[in-house]
Chains A and B, each alone.
Chain A
Amino acid sequence: MNVRLTRAGLSAAAFFALAAPAFAADAPISAADTAFMIAATALVLLMTIPGLALFYCGMVRRKNVLATMAQSVAATAVVSLLWFALAYSLAFGGDGALIGGFGRALLADVGVDTVSPFAQTIPEMLFAVYQMTFAVITCALVGGAVADRLKFSAFLLFCALWLFVVYAPIAHWVWGGGFLARLGMIDFAGGTVVHVNAGVAGLVAAVVVGARQGYGRENLAPFDLAFAVIGVGLLWVGWFGFNGGSALQAGSRAVFAVVATHLSACAGSLTWSALEWARRGKPSVLGLISGAVAGLGAITPASGFVLPWQGFVIGVLAGGVCYWACTTLKQRLGYDDTLDVFGVHGVGGALGTLLAGVFATASVSAAAGQAGVSGLLEGRPSQLVAQAIGVAATAVWCAVGTWATLKIVDAVVGLRVNPDQEREGLDLALHGESIGL
């Protein structure tokens, strides 16, 4: 989502208003766009179930594998329902500077022919469910930072509250016509809304909940990285829907987004791997997949605004910077962000959002009659400033909102399992199940 589509939407609305009194009912729904966006929706949902579930569960310890997967499944269920109940309306239904309204609560006025101003050529219902998949994965991502020690009840309640306190407002600011969109900030598919958000929330959670027992002393090695590789495969391919689908239309822009995305993933993977090979002597599989995810997260905000070669550059930078963040920075600051949600998504998303302001190339985002967005390299440093404001606003509100949400959750159900449960393992302690010997 970006400002250009909003402006295009408003001018299209004005045109149709002249032609006929009711604009929503007359907007032409494109079969091609709709088909593409249904597929994109499915791809993004696949990223959470089972993509993220597999990626995450492979990296935790054996005794917590099921509990980790449960978080992805539960987040899907809880966030989806609350999204349609109210969060969609708050994010995309209304034109306040800070938050939407209640006009679309419980899908009121979203009928068979309704169209959102943010996606004129597809049914609004489809736009709503597509955006839902973004909310779902963002909430699911946060759990990774506090893996192996968060109560299931706490996770459920956290998702339910955080969706409204942090995600919906920020989605509104960036994509729903809120103040960041009006500032001209660009974020094609969620560098801030999804990645900075999840990353900062993860970091705050890791600090508030505290480190795992034995962190820094005991062997906390991953259960089975083969699962993680499979998970990243699903994420990588699913990202074609995440970034490609953010074009909201089946056309060249979606293709450019997909190609930039893919190149960034490749570049990120090899860069992280090369650094690790040089520094540690062996290129790990975990490094190959982590670098890919870093590249994917970083290209997310820039994907529909940059040329493929710029996607490659963003991937290289993300691979390097995120590798540093997950090793040196994390060790230096001493926090236990278990699955590196901040190091990969937070840092990667912030980096990519800023780089979008550097590389934005007008020809990529130009549409019929409307000039595209130019960044620093095309002589518009103001774009970089808007990006920085966007990252800062997201990070600050996310940090404050996450902290407050965690405090509430702690007061209601308690955040962390007790030491015996943590030692026994969450699968047995919280779910009464195990994956066997």
Chain B
Amino acid sequence: MKLVIAIIKPFKLDDVRAALEAVGVHGMTVAEVKGFGRQRGHTEIYRGAEYLVNFLPKTRIEIAVADARVEAVVEAILSAARTGAIGDGKIFVTPLERAVRVRTGETDDDAL
């Protein structure tokens, strides 16, 4: 199993969700995060005070995926989340040791 972590632009969340549903993913966890990579922040000015805001709002999606489906999932996220502009985000694939469904106690692939 793998835990796929994707950082994407917030407005792309719905597109990504739809693309993942199309490849058979029916569960995910979403969080509002802040971050930056190569995309620069912006400046806010309040009367005389100028503030450089380095962190940009992003959305983080976590999906637990069976090994066989990882490539399809990554490809789905890539095509749905990409705009071509700087700040599109990143996808990380990390090993997942164990997964358990809370309601039934099913483990690993049965829990995904």
A residues in contact (CB < 8 Å) with B: 59, 219-222, 280, 282, 284, 286-287, 290, 326-328, 330-331, 340, 343
Q: Nearest residue in A to B55 (C-beta to C-beta)? A: A219
- CB atoms of A219 and B47 under 8 A apart: no
| A410–B53 alpha-carbon span in the complex (Å) | 36
A221 to B52, CA, bound (A): 10
Query: In angstroms, how far is the closest chain B Cβ from the Cβ of A19?
Result: 57
Chain B 14-59 interface residues, beta-carbon cutoff 8 Å to A: 44-49, 51-53
A331 and B45: CB pair below 8 A? Answer: no
Partner of B48, one of A59, A222, A282, A327: A327
The interface residues of chain B lying within 8 Å CB-to-CB of A340 are 47
Give the secondary structure class of A's interface.
Answer: helix
Q: Smallest CB–CB gap between B93 and chain A, Å?
A: 30
Residues of B within 8 A of A (CB): 44-49, 51-53
Q: Tell me whether A220 and B51 are in contact (CB under 8 A).
A: yes
In the complex, besides A219-B52, A221-B46, 11 extra interface pairs with C-beta distance below 8 angstroms are A59-B46, A219-B53, A220-B51, A221-B44, A280-B45, A326-B47, A326-B48, A327-B48, A328-B48, A340-B47, A343-B47
Residue in B45, B51, B52, B53 whose CB lies within 8 Å of A284: B45
Question: Smallest distance from the beta carbon of B46 to chain A beta carbons, Å?
Answer: 6
Closest residue to B50 on the A side, CB-wise? A280
Q: Which residues of B contact A326 (CB under 8 A)?
A: 47-48
Contact A331 B53 (CB under 8 A): no
Q: For B52, give the chain A residue with the smallest CB separation.
A: A219
Q: Are A219 and B51 in contact (CB-based, < 8 A)?
A: yes
Which A residues lie within 8 Å of B49 (CB)? 220
Q: Is the CB of B48 within 8 A of A286?
A: no
List residues of chain A with CB within 8 A of the CB of B52: 219
- On chain B, the residues within 8 Å of A282 by CB distance are 45
Nearest-neighbour CB distance to chain A for B55, whole angstroms, equals 10
Contact partners of B47 in chain A: CB under 8 A: 286-287, 290, 326-327, 340, 343
C-alpha spacing A13/B45, complex, angstroms: 56
